[in-house]
Amino acid sequence: MELSGQTALVTGAGKRIGRGIALELAKNGVSLVLHYGQSAQEAEETAHMVRQLGVDAAVEGCDLSHPDETQKWSQKIWQKYPISLLVNNAAHYPKSTYKTIDSNMLQASMDLLFLSPLMLIKQLHASTESAAVVNVLDTRMANQDFQHVAYHMGKRALWKATKDLAWELAPKTRVNGVAPGVILAPPGANQDWESRMAGTNPLGRIGEVQEVASAVCYLLSAAFTTGQIVYVDGGRHLKGAES
């Protein structure tokens, strides 16, 4: 499928992986609606970079912590822009264990990582004749993450929805996922993070933002592919089974 000339909404596009995805899409001729939560200035910087690549960019803010608000926001956004491509990238990464987790922590992760992305997918499907979604997941959903339980459950829910919705929304809307491994250190990580994490996958290094962004672009353009999860993780998912 030709990406050039289409418009994509990328959530959490102000910095880090979201910015990389936006720039890769722009290189492929895609106009961007760049979502941010708090990083308005960084999102404007991303927009500037996108425009330098010769395509349009708009910046829109929304707190995705409240799915009902996300739904209202999405109605306005799809009235304003002809969005046919959606990348659900925004996330958080709070620590939680089964011993410390409470219902608020679990609900917060479900709201941000599963329910708000679901609202955006539903609006895309309702508004567009031919559409494609990539949900950004996490390689660790292939086994477990006992230090980030709420996050893990939210990503697992989105992973399951990716497969279910690929079936449910076909043929109008394709739904795929990209599951990164270790790419960027979380804020506050120790200096030895990169060398420690490089040894956690068979290919023996951390991945690059560009590698995640390329996989996202491929899946958005792959017209005969839906319900697929591409792991960009140096093979780390081989440590565990998906289900």
Ligand X SMILES: NC(=O)c1ccc[n+]([C@@H]2O[C@H](COP(=O)([O-])OP(=O)(O)OC[C@H]3O[C@@H](n4cnc5c(N)ncnc54)[C@H](OP(=O)(O)O)[C@@H]3O)[C@@H](O)[C@H]2O)c1
Strand locations in the chain (E): 7-10, 31-36, 57-61, 83-88, 131-136, 173-180, 229-232
Q: Is 117 a binder of ligand X (CB under 6 A)?
A: no
Residue 27 binds ligand X, judged by CB under 6 A: no
Using only the alpha carbons of the chain, give its radius of gyration: 17
Stretch that binds ligand X, among 49-57, 61-69, 126-134, 165-173 (CB under 6 A): 61-69
The answer to whether residue 32 forms part of the interface with ligand X (CB under 6 A) is no
| Comparison of 81 and 231: residue with beta carbon closer to ligand X | 231
Site membership for ligand X, residue 12 (CB under 6 A): yes
**Which residue in 117, 180, 213, 220 binds ligand X (CB under 6 A)?**
180
Closest by CA position to 182, among listed 166, 198, 171: 198
Binding residue for ligand X, selected from 28, 45, 53, 65, defined by CB under 6 A:
65
Residue 89 touching ligand X (CB under 6 A):
yes
Q: Which long-range contacts (CB under 8 A, 24 or more apart) does 182-191 make?
A: 182/206, 182/207, 182/233, 182/234, 182/236, 183/17, 183/207, 183/208, 183/209, 183/211, 183/212, 183/232, 184/16, 184/17, 184/209, 186/93
Site stretch for ligand X (CB under 6 A), options 24-32, 161-169, 181-189, 219-227: 181-189
Nearer to ligand X, 174 or 236 (CB): 236
Torsion angle (degrees, nearest 10) of CA 203, 138, 231, 29: -120
| Under rule CB under 6 A, residue 16 binds ligand X | yes
Task: Report the chain's terminal Cα–Cα distance, integer Å.
Answer: 31
Is 108 a binding residue for ligand X by CB under 6 A? The answer is: no
Q: Report, in Å, the least distance between residue 2 CB and ligand X.
A: 26
Q: Pick one of 112, 124, 216, 217: the residue that binds ligand X (CB under 6 A).
A: 112
- Dist. CA 239–CA 213, nearest whole Å: 24
Comparison of 9 and 17: residue with beta carbon closer to ligand X: 17
66 counts as binding ligand X under rule CB under 6 A: no
Which residue ranges make up the site for ligand X (CB under 6 A)?
Answer: 12, 14-18, 36-39, 63-65, 89-93, 112, 136, 138, 180, 182-184
